[in-house]
Structure 1
Amino acid sequence: MASKTPARTARRPTASPSPSARSPDPLFNQSLEKGLAVLRAFDGAHRTMTLAELAERTAMSKGSAQRTVHTLQVLGYVGKHPQTRRFQLLPRTIELGYNYMAANALIQTANPYLAQLANASGETASVTEPVGTEMVYVAQLVTSKFIPVQTPVGMRIPMYCTSSGRAWLSSLPDEQVLALLQASDRTPRTPATLTDVKAIMARIVECRRVGYATNAEELFLGDMGIGAPILNRKGEALGAVHVSPPTSRWTLEEAQRKLAPMVIECARAISSAVAH
């Protein structure tokens, strides 16, 4: 998605329920949970951290964080910067995401259709999948045109204010949609962000009618989105495909008229290919 130098706020990784809040599960491994929490604690705003900072961001005691980080160091997932001595992720962590993408049939199927969509539209084309109340980028064909803000594979965006999120939500029953919207942190990202559940629901209902969802500068200023759901043979949404036309090149009306049919066609082609 394109935008004009948006302000980004640091977001703490979603905390897992505490052992006391979780139903007793004799098979649940809390040590593994802590290891994953440490790996997820690093992001663009926290590239390196001290042990105390890691403990705070993962809600662990310093002793527990130390044991967890040491284990990850031994396994090659976390290391210390040679000058600052602060902890950082190591390249081996990339294996985890790569293995998911390599084994994901949707991603492999979608790539040639995304290439066609990006070429026909002249804009960046992406596929996202749902994770909780967010969508995560799993595939992308980037336009050759200038994009001020990168939205790389692995980045997560909220469902409530994005075209891909609304497109995916449009395939769900109203009760599930409302539950997800109410569970979302509907923070205004820009002056145009819709945060009222009824107003967002109206956009989702409209998506069901026309086959695509829109986002006009609700996530980033200067950015728009046109998205459509990717369905399996049962009519269940696996994810969504969308293009990211910037306001510097498009009006919303032009994008709806020219790009929406391309996005719908791409989503249908991927859906048909996945079903077979």
Structure 2
Amino acid sequence: MPSAKPIAAAPARRRRKPAPGLESPLFMASVAKCFQVLEALNAAGRAVALTELAALARLDRSAVQRITHTLRALGYLRQHPLTRAFTLSGRMLEFGHTVLATDRLREKASPHLEALNRKTGETVNLTEMEGPEIVYVVRFPSLHAVSVDLHVGSRLPVYCSAGGRAMLSRLDEAEAMAMLGAVRRTPMTKRTVTDLPGLRAALARARELGYALNDQEAFVGDISIAAALTNRAGEPVGAINIAVPSPRWELAEVLRRLVPQLLKTAREINRELADL
């Protein structure tokens, strides 16, 4: 077995307002700790021994010991018989499968996204907004080499992603700005817009044009355009986007060749969503 990676020092964190529900008497801290352990193990992406897992989850070792024992007994964790390191078990796959199988938006949008992927030869995604993040629920990869390797389940901040801005642009402006004002906005590249006036302007442009643009704000070398998907009430339920690498695409070509196809596909999906 390869030697374990050293435990990285925990980065300093600014104090933030508690997320909605954390201060409710209904909130169960023990359940929250369980998910801290699962999220830490998922983020590590490898087998992790108990002491390191406690550090990654920012929890007391004895608490993590009880949590991992329970999860292993229930079949949600595996433990190596020699190293005693933990990994997520295959049983966790059942949750992801159910999430995807019961997502009506994914069902309606997937054929259209596959067709768009074939026409453009570029990466096409469906994202949904969950709190301050977007999550990828469908991904048809490019036929060419790409600079960003994301997958179904990947998450990005809503403020600096094209999909997030597309969805925010379909909300009431005050509501969208309140959401942006409540989250910590850390630059992901030198181009990331994080100030509220700049984000307000970006949402106004997306509202006017019908699509949002992200020019290397989330990842260096990645240009992304996105259009919102809405329900019958006009509320955003998701966004579709096309992502291309800047070494192969000039921004002007993205706007000229890909935006019309993106908007056409969004209109087709939205017509079907109106029947739901």
- Superposition TM-score tier, normalisation by shorter sequence: 0.7 to 0.9
| TM-score, with structure 2 as normaliser | 0.87
Alignment-mate amino acid for residue 159 of structure 1:
V
Report the secondary structure of 2:71's partner residue. Answer: helix
Q: Deviations over 1:10-51 (max 9, x none)?
A: 999xx9959x961212xx444433322222222354523232
Coordinate RMSD, CA, aligned: 2.4
Give ranges in structure 2 of 5+ residues lacking alignment. 1-9
Report the secondary structure of 1:42's partner residue. Answer: helix
2:250 & 2:176 partners in 1: Cα distance?
28
Alignment-mate amino acid for residue 59 of structure 2:
M
Structure 1 residues 90 and 21, CA, compared in 2 at 3 Å: closer, same or farther? closer
Deviation at 1:183, TM superposition (A): 2.4
Matches within 5 A, 1:167-182: 167-182=166-181
Deviation at 1:57, TM superposition (A): 3.4
Residue aligning to 1:36:
35
Residue aligning to 1:4:
none
1:95 & 1:16 partners in 2: Cα distance?
33
Would the aligned equivalents of 2:139 and 2:152 in 1 still touch at CA under 8 Å? Answer: yes
Would the aligned equivalents of 1:188 and 1:194 in 2 still touch at CA under 8 Å? Answer: yes
2:152 aligned with 1:153: yes
Matches within 5 A, 1:65-214: 65-214=64-213
Would the aligned equivalents of 1:69 and 1:78 in 2 still touch at CA under 8 Å? Answer: yes
1:265 & 1:11 partners in 2: Cα distance?
44
Would the aligned equivalents of 1:105 and 1:274 in 2 still touch at CA under 8 Å? Answer: no
2:25 aligned with 1:24: yes
Alignment-mate amino acid for residue 22 of structure 1:
E
Deviation at 1:123, TM superposition (A): 0.7
Of structures 1 and 2, the one scoring higher in RCO (CA 8 A, sep 6+) is 1
2:274 aligned with 1:275: yes
Residue aligning to 1:265:
264
Moved more, 126-135 or 259-268: 259-268
Alignment-mate amino acid for residue 220 of structure 2:
L
The percent identity for this pair of structures is 39
Would the aligned equivalents of 1:135 and 1:158 in 2 still touch at CA under 8 Å? Answer: yes
1:185 & 1:47 partners in 2: Cα distance?
28
Q: How many residues align?
A: 262
1:145 & 1:30 partners in 2: Cα distance?
46
2:11 & 2:37 partners in 1: Cα distance?
14
Q: Deviations over 1:97-152 (max 9, x none)?
A: 11100011111111100011111222110000111111000011112111233110
Q: Deviations over 1:252-275 (max 9, x none)?
A: 121112111111121222222122
Q: Deviations over 1:46-93 (max 9, x none)?
A: 523232333333343322221111111011111123453221111211
Would the aligned equivalents of 1:123 and 1:243 in 2 still touch at CA under 8 Å? Answer: yes
Residue aligning to 2:254:
255
Deviation at 1:198, TM superposition (A): 0.8
2:227 aligned with 1:228: yes
1:86 & 1:59 partners in 2: Cα distance?
17
